[in-house]
């Protein structure tokens, strides 16, 4: 792996498959791998000309557009660090993320991004806009500052990318604590991309439509970069984000062979199929699910509806995404309830004393390998907790079975301790989601005088369904051991989620705990 880099993998793909389609904006234009590489090199030269130096952090806040892809790749090409940010952040949130990442430059689309611009202005960070008129044009960078005239003699050719370059800076989702900054190197990203290509057998003949935001590691690594690095094709929805109404038409138009999504999007796709089926669906090699637990009932319905195996995977930002995955059918069985076998790194289960556990015995899931970050930025306390006994500690509880498949029990901080019984909320979630009248469900622990903690849950009924708390409890009693049955069921019309659709269990618990004595449960944010 001497000097293995993501930029090296992308350049090789552009050399090997120069005329194959690389990137499309649905219904607008296509770029070949050669054209994309030329755009990236030119944009990288612009960044260098505007004073971007190796190690500088370049913040990017865009929808899923060609401009974002080009500027992201341009930043890492000139040995800077790309820091993608969610455009939905408030000005205060942008201020935190820009400051924490020590960004030197903010790049946005041509249209106004007032919150991001306000934060950058307050922090005195230069702001540029990036635009691409069409497939025959080049990226243009513009700034309102009169002090940002580029030196046209600068060139990106002087920069040789190194495996140790920090290429990507992301923050953890912060569902149980303050977001932590995660620096990922060219080696981390390249290793993860090769792992993804290997387990799903991606080739230049593959094609996918991106449904996840590219400021998140799932969409960025699994959807975009792994495809580009193998010479495959990626389509961006015309709206710059997932649209259920155009998803299948895009999949058909661009000959998609697979897609990857979070459970929330799978549920949306499935609901639309049940209410308004398409006349024809593409022949898919596989469907991938990651970033949150997929209920077995949803997996079964997806496979039946679209005639493709659904491969559940396990990933996290600190591992540059992929850690484990169920294999393609020809490479082994898909074990329901598991997130598959470790991919491309070592994995073990450790107890609190660092002792490795036997198959079938639960403990903390720990990993190490070239795809794993070497530590959080400016956070010695978090690093001390996460890097122990020579392993990175994920904070997840699980066990490896005798065949080497990983089964997750839940987050350490989210396990419910009811009178000494450790209960996985994921198991209760799965039962709730198997009810035909429940669209979304989440279990959580609340303080209890007798047991220490008790189980509660919140559900969103399917449209048109008539389900009450008694119905939900009866169903749980039939399908769960008595000590796992929720004590109370809240019925609501919304649940708080991260940008990628993962339900924020801690926030749900805090919200409904405050509403236990209320007669009416308000909508989140009301």
Q: Is 523 among the domain residues?
A: no
- Asked if pLDDT for residue 177 goes beyond 70, the answer is no
Shared domain for 484 and 348, answered yes or no, is: no
Shared domain for 322 and 260, answered yes or no, is: yes
DSSP 195-207: HHHHHHT--TT-E
d(CA 67, CA 53): 21
406-428: pLDDT as tens digits:
999 888 888 898 887 888 898 89
d(CA 188, CA 3): 11
Count, residues in the chain: 526
Shared domain for 442 and 335, answered yes or no, is: no
Determine the pLDDT at residue 518: 53
316-373: pLDDT as tens digits:
999 999 999 999 999 999 888 899 999 999 999 999 999 999 999 999 999 999 999 9
Determine the pLDDT at residue 146: 43
Is there a contact between 259 and 289 (Cβ–Cβ < 8 Å)?
A: no
40-66: pLDDT as tens digits:
999 999 999 999 999 999 999 999 999
d(CA 127, CA 313): 37
Q: Is 166 among the domain residues?
A: yes
Q: Which domain holds residue 47?
A: 6-144+156-396
Shared domain for 180 and 314, answered yes or no, is: yes
102-148: pLDDT as tens digits:
999 999 998 889 999 999 999 999 999 999 988 889 999 998 654 44
DSSP 375-396: --TT-HHHHHHHEETTEEEEEE
State the number of CA atoms in the 13 A half-sphere of 245 facing the CB.
Answer: 2
d(CA 496, CA 442): 11
432-447: pLDDT as tens digits:
999 999 999 999 999 8
212-230: pLDDT as tens digits:
999 999 999 999 999 999 9
Is there a contact between 366 and 350 (Cβ–Cβ < 8 Å)?
A: yes
Q: Is 307 among the domain residues?
A: yes
469-495: pLDDT as tens digits:
999 999 999 999 899 999 999 999 999
9-33: pLDDT as tens digits:
999 999 999 999 999 999 999 999 9
Shared domain for 244 and 377, answered yes or no, is: yes
pTM assigned to the model: 0.87
Which of 396, 431, 449 delimits the end of a domain?
A: 396
Contacts 24+ apart (CB under 8 A), 468-471: 471/437
Q: Is 401 among the domain residues?
A: no
* Helix ranges, 307-365 (H): none
Shared domain for 362 and 442, answered yes or no, is: no
Shared domain for 337 and 441, answered yes or no, is: no
d(CA 403, CA 324): 13
Pairing of strands 21-25, 207-209: unpaired
Shared domain for 367 and 491, answered yes or no, is: no
| 511 three-state secondary structure | helix
Shared domain for 379 and 442, answered yes or no, is: no
CATH at residue 234? 3.40.50.12780
DSSP 486-512: -SEEEE-S---B-TTS-B-HHHHHHHH
Using pLDDT thresholds of 50, 70 and 90, give the confidence band for residue 523.
low
State the total domains in the chain: 2
Is there a contact between 400 and 359 (Cβ–Cβ < 8 Å)?
A: yes
What kind and span of H or E run contains 35? helix 33-49
- Asked if pLDDT for residue 517 goes beyond 70, the answer is no
CATH at residue 485? 3.30.300.30
d(CA 110, CA 365): 44
Q: Is 228 among the domain residues?
A: yes
Q: Is 120 among the domain residues?
A: yes
Is there a contact between 235 and 257 (Cβ–Cβ < 8 Å)?
A: no
- Asked if pLDDT for residue 95 goes beyond 90, the answer is yes
Tokens of 202: 């991606």
Q: Is 119 among the domain residues?
A: yes
- Asked if pLDDT for residue 507 goes beyond 70, the answer is yes
Q: Is 149 among the domain residues?
A: no
Distances in Å between the Cα of 451 and the Cα atoms of 13, 184, 419 are: 58, 42, 4
Is there a contact between 197 and 226 (Cβ–Cβ < 8 Å)?
A: yes
Shared domain for 216 and 114, answered yes or no, is: yes
Is there a contact between 261 and 289 (Cβ–Cβ < 8 Å)?
A: yes
Determine the pLDDT at residue 438: 94
CA nearest to 21, candidates 204, 193, 196 = 204
Shared domain for 348 and 484, answered yes or no, is: no
Count the Cβ atoms, other than its own, within 10 Å of residue 244. Answer: 14
Shared domain for 427 and 364, answered yes or no, is: no
């Amino acid at each position: 792996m001497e000097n293995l880099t993501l930029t090296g993998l992308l350049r090789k793909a552009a050399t090997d498959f120069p005329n194959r389609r690389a990137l499309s904006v649905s219904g607008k234009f296509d770029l070949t791998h050669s054209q994309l590489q030329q755009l990236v090199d030119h944009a990288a030269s612009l960044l260098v000309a505007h004073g971007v130096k190796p190690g500088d952090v370049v913040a990017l806040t865009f929808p899923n557009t060609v401009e974002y892809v080009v500027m992201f790749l341009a930043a890492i090409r000139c040995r800077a660090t790309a820091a993608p940010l969610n455009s939905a952040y408030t000005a205060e949130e942008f201020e935190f993320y820009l400051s924490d990442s020590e960004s030197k430059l903010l790049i946005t689309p041509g249209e106004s991004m007032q919150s991001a611009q306000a934060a950058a202005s307050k922090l005195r960070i230069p702001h540029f806009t990036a635009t691409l008129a069409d497939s025959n044009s080049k990226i243009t960078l513009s700034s309102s500052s009169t002090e940002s005239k580029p030196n046209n003699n600068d060139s990106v050719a002087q920069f040789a990318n190194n495996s140790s370059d920090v290429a990507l800076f992301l923050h953890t989702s912060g569902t149980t604590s303050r977001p932590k900054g995660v620096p990922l190197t060219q080696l981390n990203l390249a290793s993860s991309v090769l792992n993804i290509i290997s387990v799903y057998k991606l080739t230049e003949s593959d094609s996918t439509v991106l449904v996840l935001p590219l400021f998140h590691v799932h969409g960025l690594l699994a959807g975009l970069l792994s495809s580009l690095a193998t010479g495959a094709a990626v389509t961006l929805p015309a709206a710059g984000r997932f649209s259920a109404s155009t998803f299948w038409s895009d999949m058909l138009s661009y000959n998609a062979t697979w897609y990857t999504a979070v459970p929330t999007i799978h549920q949306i796709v499935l609901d639309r199929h049940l209410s308004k089926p398409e006349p024809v669906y593409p022949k898919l090699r596989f469907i991938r699910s990651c970033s949150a637990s997929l209920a077995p009932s949803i997996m079964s319905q997806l496979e039946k509806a679209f005639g493709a195996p659904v491969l559940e995977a396990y990933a996290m930002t600190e591992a540059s995404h992929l850690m484990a995955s169920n294999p393609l059918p020809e490479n082994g069985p898909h074990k329901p309830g598991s997130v598959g076998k470790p991919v491309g790194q070592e994995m073990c289960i450790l107890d609190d004393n660092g002792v490795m556990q036997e198959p079938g015995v639960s403990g903390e899931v720990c990993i190490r390998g070239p795809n794993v970050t070497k530590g959080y930025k400016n956070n010695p306390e978090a690093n001390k907790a996460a890097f122990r006994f020579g392993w990175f500690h994920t904070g997840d509880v699980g066990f490896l079975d005798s065949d080497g498949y990983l089964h997750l029990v839940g987050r350490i901080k989210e396990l419910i301790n009811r009178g000494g019984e450790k209960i996985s909320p994921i198991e209760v979630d799965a039962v709730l989601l198997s009810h035909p009248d429940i669209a979304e469900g989440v279990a959580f622990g609340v303080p209890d005088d007798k047991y220490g903690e008790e189980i509660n849950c919140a559900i969103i009924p399917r449209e048109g369904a008539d389900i009450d708390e008694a119905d939900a409890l009866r169903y749980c009693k039939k399908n769960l051991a008595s000590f796992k049955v929720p004590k109370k069921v809240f019925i609501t019309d919304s649940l708080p989620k991260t940008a990628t659709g993962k339900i924020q269990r801690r926030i749900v618990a805090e919200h409904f705990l405050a509403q236990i004595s209320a007669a009416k449960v308000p909508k989140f944010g009301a």
